[in-house]
Chain A
Amino acid sequence: MTQIELRGVQKFFGAVQVIKDLNLKIADNEFIVLLGQSGCGKTTTLRAIAGLETIDEGDIFIDGKPVQHLKAADRDIAMVFQSFSLYPHMSVYENIAFPLRATRKSKTEIDSEVRSVAKTLQITDLLDKKPSALSGGDMQRVAIGRALVRRPKAMLMDEPIGALDAKLREEMRAEIKRLHIKQGSTTIYVTHDQIEAMSLADRIVIMHAGVLQQVGTPDEVYSQPANLFVAQFVGSPVMNVTDAAVAETGSAVSVTVGGAASGFEFPQALLSKLNGHAGRQLALGIRPEGVLIRREATEGFVPVDTHIVEPLGSFDIVDLKVGTELLRARTKSGFVAGPGERVFARIDPTQAHFFDKASGKSLEVRL
């Protein structure tokens, strides 16, 4: 049972504020992913929780007890580093046993716990090897084993698979998830890779420039981004964001993109949902799968020309020229032959997002 709470945490490096008033509650057994670009303060946050970094203001609670004045050794937290940080002069066995030796446990106890962790991670045959003789994936397993063996209150992982190649990363991602389900410990995982975040997290915490942007389940941050940063950071291929003008046309509403001759048709409800924001500077966000394409003229679809086609195997990304803007649409592979083709597009109103351009905040329009 481990809850972690950050309350009003602030951190400065000299004059630069790297964490700005961070508030976050992490429940027992939860898998939290801190997601953001490099330099957004996510690793500093993790290190502050671990006790490797002091904070300038605020409180960090573990199980309700403030820990910001405790040394790392006294917080009973384990950490997996991006560099793995296996002690090179020790064997794999010694590496995993190292945290247990700090607890003054008996030799037989240590031995049985090391072997049981090694069995879980399927690294029993590596126990006698030195870290330098291991592959990247095995190093990572050993690093996780060293973190797990003490049964810490919480596991912190700082881009643990960032140093691996793409295929191995995918394997290890699944393994970490499997392990979390099996062991069930509160985990905080830092990454800049949104696919990792989406696939692993119970909840994702998105940070930018030291400020928390949104906390939510992978589905929430994907389908209900709180602001333009989250909208464009989460999801691949990235969401289209363009300036949009909303106008009433009789029974429907037209949303014009890039000053095009004809706007996209939206239901009347949009106006009321925009709640007076219609006249302001708006940004329309639409994921490529929300841009629908037909090859023949269809009611409610606007004629557009294709620009560039990126075949990605299971699907294509097609750039559509809409006025002065380009909208990226996701189509079945081979649906559009090439550039310069005339097709018909519309925006799926249920997948459209509207943002206030000035503040970048979502207007929470759900159609």
Chain B
Amino acid sequence: MAAVQTSGERALNKVAIVAVLLVTIIFLAPIYWIVSTSFKPRNLATTIPPTVMFEPTISPFVKLFTKRSQLRSPPSAEEYAAAPWWERVVFDGGEKIVRDGKGQVQWSGYPSRFLNSLIIAITSTVLAVGMGTFTAYGFSRFKVKGEADLLFFILSTRMLPAVVVAIPMFLMYRAVGLNDTHLGLIILYTAFNLSFSVWLMKGFMDEIPKEYEEAALVDGYTRMEAFFKIVLPEAATGIAATAVFCFITAWNEYAFALIMTNRRAQTAPPFIPSQVGSGLPDWTVIASGTFLFLLPVAIFTFLLRNHLLRGMSFGAIRK
């Protein structure tokens, strides 16, 4: 039905567009700030008023990945000429990259923290979504005694603020030696995301008509085969959405990571601000670390955007 718009509706439309633009600008402003700061020379990062036009430099990223020390005196002309381009940009900023006795560049703590974040977030997401999908399928398709109570119990694990359980968890983890381990954080994040995953997937499972599996059962497949061949592809949209949420939660988690880890298994969120305290804060390095940290979530969400937007089973069953 193509209705004719009245002038009032047209005006309302324009107001809505302006409002959406405003909200978008407000939301994107901090991201612009982070991205632009991560390409600024250090001396322009904290100017008042903020510098909008500047010549972008890659030096914050080089500094992010390397250990540096302050230059007491400028490098000699030969030293400067012999240095690769990425070392020169650090010289330009009045710092130098620390090398060991053999002349090898010393890495900063950031790459390993970033890798920790990836390992922990991906593993815990896979576990939470996997277990959540199976659990949700069970609750959705079979008669479970005390189903409502069990589901409420699962949800109730989310009702305490994380900070409240942080100290007891820390003591328990220390007792069993899970402190500062990947496994420790993976278990923690999986447990934390599982309730959410079960509830979200239950909603999606309920939406999948059970006739699909029944058709597969009659067609000669076992329930397990029907689950993998029919239910999982149908639930792809829900799994993708749940995975995005679980991944973002695990990726961004700060409080537990701060308390439970300090070096080996430390993730990026507690590491990045810790750099503020070492010497004079270099905001460009912090900004570049934050910018890189934003990328995986953005890419992950972008890759799954079709699943997030489209209901796959639309139109295939007649009600």
| Partner-B contacts on A (CB < 8 A) | 50-52, 71-73, 76-79, 81, 83-89, 98-99, 102-103, 130-132, 136, 139, 146, 150, 156, 163
B50: interface (CB < 8 Å):
no
Q: How far is the CA of A111 from the CA of B319 in the complex (A)?
A: 31
For this complex, into which size category does the number of interface residues on chain B fall?
20 to 34
- Which of A88, A102, A132 lies in contact with B219, CB distance below 8 A? A102
Q: How far is the CA of A72 from the CA of B211 in the complex (A)?
A: 13
Q: How far is the CA of A52 from the CA of B317 in the complex (A)?
A: 19
What chain B residues lie within 8 Å of A76 (beta carbons)?
220
B207: interface (CB < 8 Å):
no
Q: How far is the CA of A79 from the CA of B315 in the complex (A)?
A: 21
B203: interface (CB < 8 Å):
no
B206: interface (CB < 8 Å):
no
Residue of B220, B313, B317, B319 ringed by the most chain A CB atoms within 10 A: B220
CB distance from A346 to the nearest CB of B (A): 48
B218: interface (CB < 8 Å):
yes
Q: How far is the CA of A52 from the CA of B221 in the complex (A)?
A: 13
CB distance from B310 to the nearest CB of A (A): 11
Q: How many pairs of A and B residues are in contact by the CB < 8 Å rule?
A: 85
Asked if B222 and A85 make an inter-chain contact with CB atoms under 8 angstroms apart, the answer reads no
Q: How far is the CA of A272 from the CA of B231 in the complex (A)?
A: 65
Residues of B38-56 at the interface with A, using a CB-CB cut-off of 8 Å, are: none
B118: interface (CB < 8 Å):
no
Asked if B317 and A85 make an inter-chain contact with CB atoms under 8 angstroms apart, the answer reads yes
Asked if B217 and A102 make an inter-chain contact with CB atoms under 8 angstroms apart, the answer reads no
Asked if A150 and B234 make an inter-chain contact with CB atoms under 8 angstroms apart, the answer reads no
- Which of A72, A87, A89, A146 lies in contact with B217, CB distance below 8 A? A72
CB distance from A165 to the nearest CB of B (A): 11
Q: How far is the CA of A71 from the CA of B216 in the complex (A)?
A: 12
Q: A83-B317, A86-B316 are in contact. Are A52 and B212 (CB under 8 A)?
A: no
What chain A residues lie within 8 Å of B222 (beta carbons)?
71, 73
Asked if B314 and A81 make an inter-chain contact with CB atoms under 8 angstroms apart, the answer reads no
Q: How far is the CA of A275 from the CA of B315 in the complex (A)?
A: 60
Given contacts A73-B217, A79-B215, A86-B317, 18 further A-B contacts (CB under 8 A): A51-B217, A52-B218, A72-B217, A73-B222, A79-B214, A83-B211, A83-B319, A84-B318, A87-B230, A88-B313, A89-B312, A98-B229, A102-B219, A102-B220, A102-B225, A131-B316, A132-B315, A150-B219
What chain B residues lie within 8 Å of A81 (beta carbons)?
211, 214-215
Closest 4 CB pairs of A and B: A88-B316, A102-B220, A132-B315, A99-B219
Contact with A along B295-319 (1 / 0, CB 8 A): 0000000000000000011111111
Asked if A78 and B218 make an inter-chain contact with CB atoms under 8 angstroms apart, the answer reads yes
Asked if A77 and B318 make an inter-chain contact with CB atoms under 8 angstroms apart, the answer reads no
Q: How far is the CA of A88 from the CA of B225 in the complex (A)?
A: 17
Q: A73-B222, A131-B316, A132-B316 are in contact. Are A85 and B217 (CB under 8 A)?
A: no
B74: interface (CB < 8 Å):
no
| Partner-A contacts on B (CB < 8 A) | 209, 211-212, 214-222, 225, 229-230, 233-234, 236, 312-319
- Which of B214, B221, B314 lies in contact with A85, CB distance below 8 A? B214
Asked if B234 and A88 make an inter-chain contact with CB atoms under 8 angstroms apart, the answer reads yes
Asked if A52 and B316 make an inter-chain contact with CB atoms under 8 angstroms apart, the answer reads no
CB distance from B208 to the nearest CB of A (A): 10
Asked if B209 and A83 make an inter-chain contact with CB atoms under 8 angstroms apart, the answer reads yes
CB distance from B317 to the nearest CB of A (A): 5
What chain A residues lie within 8 Å of B221 (beta carbons)?
73, 102
What chain A residues lie within 8 Å of B234 (beta carbons)?
87-89
CB distance from A217 to the nearest CB of B (A): 29
Residue of B with least CB distance to A146: B219
Q: A88-B313, A89-B233 are in contact. Are A77 and B211 (CB under 8 A)?
A: no
Q: How far is the CA of A116 from the CA of B17 in the complex (A)?
A: 56
Q: How far is the CA of A313 from the CA of B186 in the complex (A)?
A: 74
Subset of 10 A-B contacts with CB under 8 Å? A72-B217, A85-B317, A86-B316, A86-B317, A87-B215, A87-B216, A87-B234, A88-B313, A98-B216, A150-B219
Q: How far is the CA of A185 from the CA of B313 in the complex (A)?
A: 32
Q: How far is the CA of A314 from the CA of B315 in the complex (A)?
A: 38
Residue of A with least CB distance to B214: A52
Asked if B319 and A78 make an inter-chain contact with CB atoms under 8 angstroms apart, the answer reads no
What chain A residues lie within 8 Å of B216 (beta carbons)?
87, 98
Q: How far is the CA of A78 from the CA of B219 in the complex (A)?
A: 6
Q: How far is the CA of A196 from the CA of B217 in the complex (A)?
A: 27
Residue of A with least CB distance to B314: A132
Asked if A52 and B220 make an inter-chain contact with CB atoms under 8 angstroms apart, the answer reads no
What chain B residues lie within 8 Å of A85 (beta carbons)?
209, 211-212, 214-215, 317
Q: How far is the CA of A52 from the CA of B236 in the complex (A)?
A: 25
Asked if B214 and A73 make an inter-chain contact with CB atoms under 8 angstroms apart, the answer reads no
